[in-house]
Amino acid sequence: MLQSYFKTAWRNLLRHKTFSIINIGGLAIGLAACWLIMLYVTNELSYDRNHTNADRIYRIAQHATWGGGSFALRSE
């Protein structure tokens, strides 16, 4: 029975080539985007988690301005 489902799906893919390419391409792009976003979020959430006291790590930022310019230091 499962074999007949695959045979029917294959026939429909060959019969409607344009729609099949659009649907499969959209699915591939959506899955790739989801995977990349998931990898980025996982990387951002795992930042400095390897330290034993990771909850005690703070970020220091320093900004200064004067007559001729400005200075911005971001320590991450």
Contacts of 65 (CB under 8 A, 6+ apart): 71
With a pLDDT cut of 90, the percent of the chain lying above it is 55
How far is the CA of 23 from the CAs of 13, 15, 27, 29, 72, in angstroms? 10, 14, 6, 10, 48
Three-class secondary structure of residue 35 per DSSP:
helix
Q: Which tokens in the block code for residue 54? A: 């990771």
Tally of residues, the chain:
76
pLDDT band, residue 74 (cuts 50/70/90): low
Q: Is the pTM of this model over 0.85?
A: no
Residue 59 CA, distance from chain mean position: 24
Mean pLDDT of 39-65: 81
Q: In the prediction, which pLDDT does 71 show?
A: 75
Instruction: Kindly report, residue by residue over 8-29, the tens digit of the pLDDT.
Output: 999 999 999 999 999 999 999 9
